[in-house]
Chain A
Amino acid sequence: MIEATSQTKTVARPASASERTSLGGFALLANAVLLYTFLYVPIAILVIFSFTSDQFGVRWTGFTLDWYARLFANERLMGAALNTLYVALISTVASTIIGTLTALAMERYRFPGRSGMDALLYLPIVIPEIVMAVALLAFSAFAFDLIQSITGTPIRRNLTTVIIAHIAFSISFVVVVVRTSLKNFDRRLEEAAQDLGASGWQTFWRITFPLILPGIIGGALLAFTLSLDDFIISLFLSGPGTSLLPVEVYNKVRRAVTPEINAISTLMLIISIALVGLSQLAQRRR
């Protein structure tokens, strides 16, 4: 991500942070500090209260690791967390690839039906989650009946149906972000490369891809985040015994939040950070 942009940006950067900007710079910094605090106070509370001995998890009454011990013994929650990560990973990879391809098609080509496709792409962003959940549930009922009448084997909702649905709503978000980076893209760079004899494939990998990579990564992160958090669609499209974490948490939180929920949230946080960190490392190596 960094390497790609630095080629074009290092030129633009140097003198810009001049003395004139000190006041504005301070305001920017202050705003940033405030917002990061705003974002992290609830997270801090969540993490801290996963170690509290208070059973309601609302005040600090002493340090304990009990909640983590309980959590590791809780197969349901652990299984749900694994299912959630699995779904998020697969749907993120798939929707990022499909979304990037679609964004390229939409930005680079004129074709009949383009505005129809445009509309189709905005729909998943516009649709309230609950409506999509209901629609997909009804659709899965038709589709399953159809498949059963053709093949004779009954099928059930399972993690695959959840993944299919997550990909369906993530694609659009990836497309929006990737298109933003394609819009500000200087096409002359590609033309120059091709004029210098690069094939279309080479041009894409050497020029286009590195330049839109920040957008792709941004889109992928959005998709990952959306998938991790999705609740209603997961509730409706999951099958028996394949519960997902947001569903478990929703049901539990509504009865009584215990620090066990804080503990699993803390763990998920760590795992997500580790996953993204690893992907960054891998990318840097490349």
Chain B
Amino acid sequence: MKRWIPLLAMALVMLSACGSAPASAPASAPAASTDSPSGAAASGDVDTSKLAKELFFYNWSDYIDPSILDDFEKEYGVKVTLDTYDQNEDMIAKVRAGNSGYDLVVPSDYAVTTMAAEGLIIPLDKSLLPNISHMNPDLLNKYFDEGNVNSVPYMYGISGIAYNKQDFPDGVDSWAALFDPAQIEKYKGKFSMLDDERESPGAALKYLGKSLNDTDPADLKAAEDLLIAQKPFLAAYNSSDVNRKLASGEYVIAHAWSGQAIQAHNGLGDEFSGNADIMFTMPKEGGMIWMDNLAILKDSPNAYTAHVFINFLMRPDIAARNTEYIGYLSPNKDAVDLLSQDIKDLYAQGFAPDAEMIKRLEWAVRNEKTTAFTDLWTVVKGE
């Protein structure tokens, strides 16, 4: 048996060398599959004869109103099967291994770049996506996918502070509320920070007046010290059920995504109704903006149907309904107009960026230097 092991190892190395090396052809022809669009469909009309029976959608959990999938089936006769993930990296790992069986995924900003570079997603056929005209031009053509070659925006969000106004009647306007020892002592064990190597260090850097992409070692050290000093007062690092813990009163304040704050305020679908005391603010020092995007996988046999579905999701009425349900922000400007007055009021109260707030927001870029954040985070967690 022992003799076999090196042999096997060799076989595996050889196999993997040809199997998993990125196809290194980012410019592969769009939608080379059999159902690629013909000229006739270019007007945006859907050629129903080319639709697949079923579409496999791999999306974040609780990230679509399930009734929208039903509507799509009613309208086009295509059943959408939804599976969920919890992290870009989970999804990429599965897709990278090949034959995932999914047609459509929802990578975040930086993950679009990764997936495109690895040849995991295909360029979109814009002639099949006429509804892209409804999108907010400010959120198109971003650094991670210039020209929106491989993706269209799905939802976006900002990372700031959610708080309970019963405990903070005067509101909150600075990251000091989460980092200043004199302040956090009062709610020791009743607040949380996002459990993410870019979010929490990013917030610390912002509090220090730096860019959240700052990789200067001295600044990173300062951010690290700040986070370590904060730790004894912290209830938990939590990026998952902050919504529920805020709504139920377990946390009085938290580093949170805007969508979590809206869910805490308004409730999430019919899962729970919210707590109207929960407010959200983008601190004056600024914070992070990020966006999740729709993209079609290279090994999808149903690229045409996937385009039709993406276009459907960009229809303003559908996007508006989805936004109401999920609570994150819609990059669809015409959908925003259709939102209920309640949500619009929340947006006016700081749950969504206005022209002034936009200036304080920053995208978190990923490059070879930002791996420093992985080390920083490991040190913070190791204390």
Instruction: Report A88 CB to chain B, min CB distance, Å.
Output: 20
Question: What are the residues of chain A within 8 A of B100 when measuring CB–CB?
Answer: 156-157, 239-240
For chain A, give the interface size range: 35 or more
One digit per residue, 1 when the CB lies within 8 angstroms of any chain A CB and 0 when it does not, for chain B 72-101 equals 000000000111111000100110111111
Q: In the complex the two chains form, is A241's CB within 8 Å of B268's CB?
A: no
What total count of A-B pairs have CB within 8 Å?
102
B240 close to A254 (CB less than 8 A): yes
Q: Give the Cβ gap from B272 to chain A, nearest Cβ, in Å.
A: 4
- B residues 134-152 in Cβ contact with A at 8 Å: none
Q: Closest B residue to A70 by CB, please name it.
A: B270
Q: Are A56 and B81 in contact (CB under 8 A)?
A: no
B244 touching A254, Cβ below 8 Å: no
Tell which of A24-32, A35-43, A133-141 binds the partner: A133-141
Residues in A whose Cβ lies below 8 Å from that of B83: 240-241, 243
Residues of B within 8 A of A154 (CB): 99
A252, CB-defined interface residue at 8 Å: yes
Please tell me if the beta carbons of A144 and B90 are within 8 angstroms of each other in the complex: no
Q: A134-B93, A145-B15, A235-B90 are in contact. Are A255 and B243 (CB under 8 A)?
A: yes
- In the bound assembly, the distance between CA atoms of A155 and B241 in angstroms comes to 36
A243–B19 Cα gap in the complex (Å)? 26
Chain A residues within an 8 Å CB radius of B241: 253-257
Q: For window 250-285 of chain A, which residues contact chain B by CB distance below 8 Å?
A: 250-258, 260
A204 contacts B by Cβ under 8 Å: no
In this assembly, does A60 line the interface, its C-beta being within 8 Å of a C-beta of chain B? no
User: What is the distance, in angstroms, from B85's C-beta to the closest C-beta of chain A?
Assistant: 7
Q: Which residues of A contact B251 (CB under 8 A)?
A: none
A116 touches B2 (CB 8 A): yes
Assess the B86–A55 pair: CB atoms within 8 A.
Answer: no
Partner-contacting stretch, out of B27-35, B56-64, B211-219, B347-355: B56-64
- B20 close to chain A: CB less than 8 A: yes
Q: Is the CB of A58 within 8 A of B248?
A: yes
Shortest A202–chain B CB gap in Å is 33
Q: Are A142 and B248 in contact (CB under 8 A)?
A: no
* Interface residue from A146, A241, A248, A252 paired with B56 (Cβ < 8 Å): A241
Q: Mark A225-243, 1 if CB is under 8 A from B, else 0.
A: 0000000000110011101
Going nearest first, the 7 A-B pairs with the smallest beta carbon separation are A254-B240, A251-B61, A240-B101, A240-B56, A55-B272, A141-B97, A241-B81
**Extra 4 A-B pairs, beta carbons < 8 Å, given A116-B2, A247-B84:** A58-B248, A137-B94, A240-B101, A257-B241
B-binding residues in A (CB < 8 A)? 55-56, 58, 70, 76, 113, 116, 134, 137-138, 140-142, 144-146, 148, 154-157, 235-236, 239-241, 243, 247-248, 250-258, 260
